Amino acid sequence: MTRFTRRELAGLLGAAVIGARRAVAAPVPPVSAHGSGRVGVTRAPAGALEPAAARQAVAAAVAAATGLDDGGRAVAQLFSGHDTVGIKLSCLGGRLLSPRVEVVEALVELLAAAGVHRDRIIVFERSGRELSRAGFTLRANGGPYRCVGVDGDWDREITVSGEIGSCFARLVSSTCTALVSVAVVKDHDLAGVSGTLKNFYGVIHNPNKYHDHGCDPYVADVVRHPYVAGKLRLSLLDGGLAQCHGGPAYRADMTFPLGALAASTDPVALDAWAWRIIEAERARRHLPSLDKAGRPPRYIATAAGYGLGVGDPGTVREVRA
């Protein structure tokens, strides 16, 4: 956690109003830009994947998500050679419950083929330690892509979005022009679901302050900030192995081999899809629904109400590749 002096804290608090004005002024894409509830799903068995199989799976899921017949062409329509693309991972669950390296590297290859320079493809997480635990090799420069932790590199000024006031990672606020969220399918002991939206708690300096009321509206408020909503173009959920209870940390007895990879340009619909998957597995195990367990993912409806995507699991359109 970043520590501020008293003088810095005073400056941060004074900057909050300025930050709020900045947040309101920046553009946020309309719902139509997010694919209107369409989720592309393809088979991706649990465990290690061969690079060719991983690339085929990622391309197929992205193609199904966009309605195009070629995943490479779909990625080329979402990103350009002028972009600096940040790929935000969710690695809290360690190697067994984090996006697989081969899935992330398959996405990197598609971005590179679409013309994004490898030095401008940045795989990142809140900390380098989490990336290393999940099997990723840290690289500030060089190699097929950069791979770094935020590790305290926050903006000096607080910005405000709804009910959150935070310093954002400079990678997100300043460096990257486009974002991809890559997470896993798992439940959360407070929020109900931890997927592509809650992944962005890793880009603010004080997520510990925003877990009351099932993390609602805070998850949605983080994502609707222009630093995220104005740049987020694609989201993926690596569902080789999924978890229906005990999250966000890994719990072996509550995992199950979903064997799927899902993608969407609508991040809200992708979380609603994950919600549907988790509820089905909980029912199969005779566990109470998330609602009866006292942790329905209310933030999904809030995000939908903000115009960030489709939040009703019943109206999400799953397109199989």
Within-domain flag for 27: no
Q: Is the pLDDT of residue 121 over 90?
A: yes
Mean pLDDT of all residues in the chain? 91
Annotate 164-180 with three-state secondary structure. Answer: EEECEEHHHHHHCCEEE
Whether 308 maps to a domain, the answer reads yes
On whether residue 91 sits in a domain, the answer given is yes
Full residue range of the structural domain in which residue 276 is found:
6-22+40-320
Considering the domain boundaries, does residue 30 fall inside one?
no
Question: What sign does the dihedral 312-284-95-51 (CA atoms) show?
Answer: negative
Does residue 35 lie in a domain region? Answer: no
> Which pLDDT tens digit goes with each residue over 143-194?
999 999 999 999 999 999 999 999 999 999 999 999 999 999 999 999 999 9
pTM attached to this predicted model: 0.90
Question: Mean pLDDT lowest for which of 22-26, 46-50, 153-157, 306-310?
Answer: 22-26
CB distance 134 to 99 below 8 Å: yes
Tell me the pLDDT band of 36, cut-offs 50, 70 and 90.
Answer: confident
What's the structural domain count of the chain?
1
What percentage of the chain has pLDDT greater than the value 70? Answer: 89
- In a domain, residue 28? The reply is no
The average pLDDT across 237-264 equals: 98
pLDDT tens digit sequence for 92-110:
999 999 999 999 999 999 9
Q: How confident is the model at residue 132 (pLDDT cuts 50, 70, 90)?
A: very high
Token pair of 256 as six digits: 């199950």
CA proximity to 241, closest of 201, 186, 286, 167: 186
Element (H, E) at 139: none
pLDDT band at 34 (very low <50, low <70, confident <90, very high): low
* Cα 200 to Cα 177: distance, rounded to the nearest angstrom: 16
Residue 11 has pLDDT above 50, yes or no: no
CATH of the domain at 106: 3.40.50
For residue 248, is the peptide bond before it cis, meaning its omega torsion is within 30 degrees of 0? Answer: yes
Residue 32 within a domain: no
Residue 231 covered by a domain: yes
Q: Please write the tens of the pLDDT for every residue from 257-305.
A: 999 999 999 999 999 999 999 999 999 999 999 999 999 999 999 999 9
